[in-house]
Structure 1
């Protein structure tokens, strides 16, 4: 059966990390996964809406989920932050159906005022990683590999939201995750383990504690390099911004040259499916991905 999802691309992939949007499209097309983009969806708030009001965060994201429910499809995102925020709201509202129906009625009343469908709790919120591992399946993915990434040493950077924002994490252990490393093995790459792979990249601090944010990012990159990584691979565009786009600034703060490429998860998998680097936006990164491509003979 063909996989179909209501696609929530989020903000960053349509702006600062356009290559993530590009590579997700290339990957899903190659795997014959159908994405129906939610053009009317709004920003999830990346965890900031709740600082003003939990009702605000819940209402905005109840609307996003309701858009997927209108299609009778699970909501798919390729952003760990979006997954964490929307997935947590979904968990909270499904619980409210049993324990606080008045609160849910308040949210649906706000949605009705905007001409939106009510939140029903009939969908799922699923990151692209979970879709690949759980829905598509690693065995099937391996069958589609036409360019094994042999010799490439990949260090996963899970970040915060994917592992810790929700009570229930499918297909993985939030304390000892292996889903990305299992994907690396399937595409022929070698997983690299290091201390910071499940820690915060520092992005949430960057607007008010920039130096501390960059020190955090620099520590993770240094640890991955020391462990022998050829690249970092992340399922979160906000992590990508702090680790790739700001890596030159990070180098100035820590006083050390880094130069470690940072790939989006769909870019790595799509390379293994034989898709050309230019179609994945690999030339758009701040830190050159050329060393990765040269190692693969591309």
Structure 2
């Protein structure tokens, strides 16, 4: 059993609870255990670094230090949390002065940021630690009836200087996971594009235009559903889908699944167990 410190993101704790619910169901089936870090705090998204760089380093240094205290890598299931925490780690590892300043504050909690724990996405754990062949052997209900459009989202791909796993221009890990689960992964231009989430509150029309373009292409290639490893992408593509498609004068719809739900379906769990009925699009 491979153990990881699991970061509880704000979005999964509130709007997309079905992500963690799904992981809880099947993690042991794949020989992994996610130890939830209940004392972790919000990573600050893509905003805190611009408002207060020192607080940005402190809160995320603390999140990583909690994993290091357990001697485990930190695993996230949100792309923005991934990019944010890995960015903070990079800054702390490259600046001894910043690291000392953060550790002087962490001492009050009996914590220390050492830089020993890696920060990884759930998709990377499935690809690198569990392995696609091992996943293929665990499949109980192959997804061979489904044509699936993978939507990676920005923050698991870019900036590559912080992330550096998949090729940001031609990512493949999610495609390979779909195939390991028995599904057909469809090539399309928007699989590595932005969902529009981070401009939703300040430029809704432009944000929904971006989402509508991705949704429209997935519909045009006759995908049965879209799957994404990011709950923020899911929030836009599912929760705001009707509004986005109406704005673009598109009279259609397409289901959007979380990565963890797609895995759960192939491992034999029901849509009710996985929380799929919480989605906006049926």
Q: State TM-score, norm by structure 2.
A: 0.96
Q: 2:189 aligns with which of 191, 195, 199?
A: 195
Deviations 1:51-91 (A, max 9, x none): 20221211110000000000000001111111111112112
CA distance in 1, matches of 2:221, 2:60: 39
Contact 1:192 1:228 in 2 (8 A): no
In the other structure, the counterpart of 2:51 is: 52
Deviation string for 1:222-275 (max 9, x for gaps)? 011112211110000010000001112212221222311000001101111111
CA distance in 2, matches of 1:208, 1:169: 27
Q: What secondary structure sits across from 1:73 in the alignment?
A: coil
| Equivalent residue in structure 2 for 1:263, among 236, 257, 260 | 257
1:138-177 alignment to 2 at 5 Å? Answer: 138-167=132-161, 169=163, 171-177=165-171
State the match for 1:72 in structure 2.
71
Query: Aligned Cα RMSD in Å?
Result: 1.3
Match of 1:92 in 2: 91
The answer to whether the aligner puts 1:181 opposite 2:175 as a matched pair is: yes
1:88-127 correspondence to structure 2 within 5 Å: 88-96=87-95, 101-113=96-108, 115-127=109-121
Evaluate the alpha carbon distance shift between residue 142 and residue 78 of structure 1 in structure 2; reply closer, same or farther with a 3 A threshold.
same
What's 1:26 paired with? 25
SS of 1:164 mapped into structure 2: coil
User: Runs ≥4 in structure 1, deviation > 6 angstroms?
Assistant: none
Deviations 1:168-221 (A, max 9, x none): 546522221100000011111001111111111000110010011011100100
**Structure 1 residues not aligned, in runs of 5+:** 289-298
Give TM-score, length-normalised by structure 1.
Answer: 0.91
Give the equivalent residue in structure 1 for 2:10. Answer: 11
2:5–2:74 Cα contact (<8 Å) kept: yes
Structure 2 residue ranges without an equivalent (≥5): none
| Map of 2:243 onto structure 1 | 249
- Aligned twin of 1:228: 222
